[in-house]
Structure 1
Amino acid sequence: NVADCLKAYGTAFQSSRGNLLLLSKNGPYQAATSAKFGISSGDISQPFDWICQRVDEVQSGQSTCDDSLLEIRRNIQEWEPFGSPVEECYSQRTDEHCQVLFSRTLCWIVTALNLLKSLLMLFVAFGGGVEKPILTIGDAVASFLEHNDESTTDMCLKGNEDFFVHNWFKEPIQFDLNPRRKSAAITSDTPQVIVSLLYFAYNSQHTTISLLTEWDRFGDNSRARGLRVSSAPRGAQRQTYFLQLPYRYSIPLICFSGSLHWLISQSLFLVNLEIYTPSNGNVSSLTACGWSPLGILCVLAVGILMIGFLVISARRRLRFGGIPVTGSCSAAISAACHPNKNEGAMWEKALQWGAVELSPLEGAPGHCSFSSHAVELPVHGQWYA
Structure 2
Amino acid sequence: MGTGVLICTYAAFGILLVNVILTIVAAAVAVARHDQRTMSSATIYKGSCDRTKAWTTGLHLLINVLSTIVLGASSYCMQCLTSPSRVDVDRAHGQRVWLDIGVASVRNLAWADWPRRTLWLVLLVTSIPIHLMYAIVLASANFDFDRPPAHYNSSFEECFESNTAMSMSTFYADLPSFDNLTREECIRRYAMDFPTDLGTLILVTSNLTAANQRLQWIYWGNSVANDGQIMTSNYDWLCAQFGVLSSSCTPPKLLSALDQWAASPLVPWAEYPVEYCLSRKLTEQCELQFSPAICLAVIVCNVFKVLCMLLTARSDRTEIFLTVGDAVASFLTQPDPSTERMCLTSRLNLTQGAQPWRSRREGYLQIAVKDASRPQARAALPPRQRWMRAVHPSQWIMTIGVYVKPLLCLCHSTTFSALWQLGFGSATPYTIFSLPHSNVVSMSLLANTPQIAVSIGYFLYNNLLTHMLLAAEHDDYASQRKALRVSWPQGSQRSSYYLSLPYRYSIPLMIASMLLHWLVSGSLFYVAINPIDMLGNTVHANQVITCGYGPIAIVFALILGGVMTSTVVGLGMRRFASQMPIAGSCSAAVSAACH
- TM-score range, shorter-chain basis? 0.7 to 0.9
- Residue 307 in 1 paired to residue 565 in 2? yes
User: Pick from 280, 288, 294: which aligns with 1:91?
Assistant: 280
Question: Once the 2 structures are TM-superposed, how far is the Cα of residue 100 of structure 1 from its aligned partner?
Answer: 2.4
Amino acid at match of 1:327: G
Structure 1: distance between partners of 2:209 and 2:490: 93
| Correspondence list, 1:2-151, <5 A | 2=182, 5-25=186-206, 29=210, 35-39=217-221, 43=225, 45=231, 46-56=233-243, 58-59=244-245, 63-65=247-249, 68-73=250-255, 75=256, 78=259, 80=261, 82=263, 84-98=273-287, 100-104=289-293, 106-125=294-313, 127-129=314-316, 131-151=318-338
Distance 1:182 1:97, change over 3 A: closer
**Percent of residue pairs identical:** 32
Question: Once the 2 structures are TM-superposed, how far is the Cα of residue 10 of structure 1 from its aligned partner?
Answer: 2.7
Structure 2: distance between partners of 1:194 and 1:30: 68
- Indicate the structure (1 or 2) with the bigger Cα radius of gyration: 1
Which residue is 1:191 aligned to? 397
TM-score after normalising by structure 1: 0.75
Question: Once the 2 structures are TM-superposed, how far is the Cα of residue 117 of structure 1 from its aligned partner?
Answer: 0.8
| Correspondence list, 1:237-276, <5 A | 237-240=493-496, 242=498, 244-276=500-532
User: Pick from 342, 348, 357: which aligns with 1:161?
Assistant: 348
Amino acid at match of 1:201: L
Deviations 1:272-326 (A, max 9, x none): 2222322324131121121111111112111111111111111111122x22111
Contact 1:218 1:323 in 2 (8 A): no
SS in 2 for 1:238: coil
Q: Which runs of 5+ in 2 are unaligned?
A: 1-180, 264-271, 358-371, 404-456
How many positions carry a matched residue from both structures?
326
SS in 2 for 1:22: strand
Which residue is 2:130 aligned to? none
Distance 1:162 1:177, change over 3 A: closer
Question: Once the 2 structures are TM-superposed, how far is the Cα of residue 30 of structure 1 from its aligned partner?
Answer: 5.9
Structure 1: distance between partners of 2:222 and 2:503: 62
Amino acid at match of 1:170: R
Question: Which structure carries more helix by proportion?
Answer: 2
Contact 2:526 2:546 in 1 (8 A): yes
Question: Which structure carries more strand by proportion?
Answer: 1
Which residue is 2:585 aligned to? 328
Structure 1: distance between partners of 2:563 and 2:340: 44
Distance 1:295 1:170, change over 3 A: same
SS in 1 for 2:528: strand
TM-score after normalising by structure 2: 0.50
Amino acid at match of 2:559: A
Which residue is 1:377 aligned to? none
| Correspondence list, 1:214-225, <5 A | 214-220=473-479, 223-225=480-482
Question: Once the 2 structures are TM-superposed, how far is the Cα of residue 244 of structure 1 from its aligned partner?
Answer: 4.4
SS in 2 for 1:299: helix
Contact 1:216 1:319 in 2 (8 A): yes
Amino acid at match of 2:345: K
